[in-house]
Structure 1
Amino acid sequence: MLLNQNLKSTSCLNCRNTVDLTAGDSTLTCPECSYGYTVIDQIPMLVKDAGQNLAASWMQHKALIEENKERLQEVQDALGRQPERVPLLDRAICAYQHDNEYLRDLQTRIEAFLPQKEIEELKEEGRLPKQYTMGEGIAFFPRDWCGSERAEQEVCTILDAIRSQIDRYADDVDSLLVPGAGAGRFGCELAGIYDSCHAFDYSLHMAQIFYDLVERDLTLHRINFRSNVVRTDDVVVAYDLSLDPTGDGRIRNHLDRNNLSYFVGNALDIPMPGNSLSAVACIYFIDIVPIKEHLNEIRRTLKPGGLFINCGPLRYMRGDVANMLSGEEIMDLFRSSGFDILSHDVVTNTQLASSPVITSVLSHSFMFCARKK
């Protein structure tokens, strides 16, 4: 089982030629212009600002480690005052220590490519790109890979919405792109259905955890002192994450087809040749990037007749108000950019249903399918 075996013809971000990148020990090199792309722990970084991206993810690890340390200190302070809670508090201490040890290992791997001094300099110079935070992103790994009934139902609702549009409107799908692939579940699922699936995320820290999961099972924790849980056992939850949580080998069989690539990439500068993709499946991502700039790349990379399928909420938690469009405005933008709108709907689903907290969130996701003329 190998990732990125289908990552052959790419569009070099430097010379813009369509090329087959030449693989080295820790680089991919354009044969036309000799531009080099960093490969860290087998993860291709197909971005022009690899150093800045590495530094930003290192800082995301640092932020979550420091937050965990603060919470750990709070628990340790409570330990001496609540002897009756020692077993629970000890579990929380071990959970914070375990997760921070793993996050620190991910940081160290980045330092092998970019020294901490250079990372700090990039931060001081204000050159770090904005990324999805580690604290937000890591919550999707239990949803995608713990295998609980609630989590699987949530995943299936999203996947069924995407597949229904492709099955209804596409005659043939030989290449599909998943931008903002995050924890990697949807890329894996779609790679088991279609000929070739390319997935990417701008945040190296998300790719790091996914690649580790491909190699081995992981355990991550959620500590719910600040969340309303009923069962004491649910205050500290250990999520055993696996690409094969049910033991049927289904996902690993998908990957054995060697038709999934997962790389670090920028949705505003996609390293795919023009008119090369049959479909783009945008899942819980359209509210993360400036849609107008992202649409330029969607239109460029899709084949004539290619499909764009969106499924996700329009939350717009950060960014420019000019990019905070309603669903109707987004569809109007696609129409004026050379697309036909084939369908649109609202898909109601749970949000991160793997969590045991009492408060549950229903996500009303905007779904639409558009075809490039």
Structure 2
Amino acid sequence: MNPELLERMFCPAKKTPLAYSSADEALVSAESGSSYPVIGGVPVLVPKPQEYLHRTAIELEAHNQRRDQNMQIVKAFLSQETFRTPMLRSLHAALEQNVALSIAQRDALAARLDVAGLLRYVVDQGVKLADPRQTPAYYGPDLLSFVRADWSDEPAPSKQRSVVLERVNDNIARFCGANQSALVVGGGAGRYFHELAARFDYMLGSDLNFTYVDIYHRLKNGPMELADIFYPMISSDVVAESFVAALPDGKTPENAAYFVADALQLPVRDGTQDAVVSIYFSDCVPIMRLLNEARRVLKPGGVFISLGPMFYHSVDQTAWFTPTETLAIANQIGFDCEHDEWGELAYWSSPHRSSESIHRVWNYVLRRRD
């Protein structure tokens, strides 16, 4: 990792300096003794990394088992030639394609796990893992359509990205200066982080989902062929489509670092960022906590740029604030609103999927007071 980027980061548990140890394949803090594994190029910078890895590996394994069961059912039907054979072959091939990726990700995690610690974790937390939607891994392997939206060069996803980037880049041009440092939170599979890195001298990016961050780092090794599975939400005889995810220029920017982290406990030093960018993410976590953390890492006069709908998924109902309430909270935390507008965005979906939507997106900019 670029040393100048590490200077802007710290140990998320103890807030002490980090350095890369090639012997340990980890970012380590000599002061606190903390160690944060780097797995396939992915730094895992959460306060309790082993617990995170245990939970994520277990959910990936559960996902793989569910998909294997699906494939066995499909394979049993395929043993008999019927009118369903063409559809089932397509579905089976798509499942195989995607499971190969999640198995590779699970194995990469398993290689770095403390087996005794994993067994203790299963005993202590097993009941809580019954609902996969409560784990950080859930949104990754099951929703690769987000990866297609980020990294396919097909016309429709490309158009959606260009619309989003046009609005965010306009905010950057209006409210950010030159020679600055920025942080993208909730960056998903990494496309907007990747594109925005060219606008800043230094760029940090984070997401709590290992699957997405890992895919971004795997793309450095070349294109990946994955499948977008529509079944059972279908609107045609096509139940799955292959797509190619690829970096547009074949490489990642040298001035940027993309890592696993919690947007509410960022491994980023106080007052080091000129901008924090949140695209389709501000409604995913409690906004009050997100803005407090953004204010902490921003320099005085730095800006929080947000674009996305207010869907409030994965957030407790007590944090479902209206726009006016959100701006009032921001003001109390120490922000002034510089820009505030609503617009429509045709959210990309394959024509073979049974739903399409127009999102009302909120585009706003908050500036940190001194």
Fold match by TM threshold 0.5: yes
Shift, 1:219, TM fit: 1.3
Shift, 1:330, TM fit: 1.2
Is the contact between residue 143 and residue 354 of structure 1 (CA under 8 Å) also seen in structure 2?
A: no
The residue number in structure 2 matching 1:323 is: 319
Distance 2:351 2:187 in 1: 21
Q: Unpaired segments of 5 or more residues in structure 2?
A: none
Instruction: Name which of 212, 216, 234 aligns with 1:210.
Output: 216
Distance 1:69 1:15 in 2: 41
Question: Cα–Cα, structure 1 residues 62 and 350, in superposed 2: closer, same or farther, change >3 Å?
Answer: farther
The residue number in structure 1 matching 2:330 is: 334
Amino acid at match of 1:259: N
Distance 1:315 1:94 in 2: 33
Deviations 1:224-246 (A, max 9, x none): 3312333x4x32201111113xx
The residue number in structure 1 matching 2:38 is: 39
Distance 1:15 1:135 in 2: 32
Instruction: Name which of 21, 24, 38 aligns with 1:23.
Output: 21
The residue number in structure 1 matching 2:246 is: 242
Question: Cα–Cα, structure 1 residues 123 and 206, in superposed 2: closer, same or farther, change >3 Å?
Answer: farther
The residue number in structure 1 matching 2:171 is: 165
Alignment TM-score, normalising by the size of structure 2: 0.89
Distance 1:280 1:187 in 2: 11
The residue number in structure 2 matching 1:281 is: 277
Amino acid at match of 2:5: L
Higher relative contact order (CA 8 A, sep 6+): 1
Identity of aligned residues (%): 24
Give the 5 Å matches for 1:128-277: 130-131=135-136, 133=138, 134-135=140-141, 137-172=143-178, 174-230=180-236, 232=237, 234-244=238-248, 249=249, 252=251, 255=252, 257-277=253-273
Question: Cα–Cα, structure 1 residues 121 and 144, in superposed 2: closer, same or farther, change >3 Å?
Answer: same
Shift, 1:323, TM fit: 1.4
The residue number in structure 1 matching 2:364 is: 368
Question: Cα–Cα, structure 1 residues 70 and 160, in superposed 2: closer, same or farther, change >3 Å?
Answer: same
Amino acid at match of 1:240: V
Question: Cα–Cα, structure 1 residues 15 and 226, in superposed 2: closer, same or farther, change >3 Å?
Answer: closer
Distance 1:342 1:213 in 2: 36
Aligned length: 360
Distance 1:223 1:20 in 2: 41
Amino acid at match of 2:241: V
1:8 aligns with 2:6: yes
Is the contact between residue 219 and residue 246 of structure 2 (CA under 8 Å) also seen in structure 1?
A: yes
Question: Cα–Cα, structure 1 residues 14 and 229, in superposed 2: closer, same or farther, change >3 Å?
Answer: closer
The residue number in structure 2 matching 1:55 is: 54
Distance 2:18 2:57 in 1: 30
3-state SS in 1 of match to 2:199? coil
Distance 1:46 1:74 in 2: 39
- Cα root mean square deviation, aligned: 2.3
Deviations 1:157-204 (A, max 9, x none): 111111111111223351110011110001100112221110011122
Distance 1:267 1:259 in 2: 21
- Greater shift, 6-15 or 172-181, is seen at 6-15
Shift, 1:273, TM fit: 1.3
- Greater shift, 93-102 or 178-187, is seen at 93-102
Alignment TM-score, normalising by the size of structure 1: 0.88
Distance 1:48 1:169 in 2: 32
Is the contact between residue 149 and residue 348 of structure 2 (CA under 8 Å) also seen in structure 1?
A: yes
Shift, 1:352, TM fit: 4.0
Is the contact between residue 349 and residue 362 of structure 1 (CA under 8 Å) also seen in structure 2?
A: yes
Distance 2:346 2:116 in 1: 43
Question: Cα–Cα, structure 1 residues 193 and 61, in superposed 2: closer, same or farther, change >3 Å?
Answer: same
Q: Unpaired segments of 5 or more residues in structure 1?
A: none
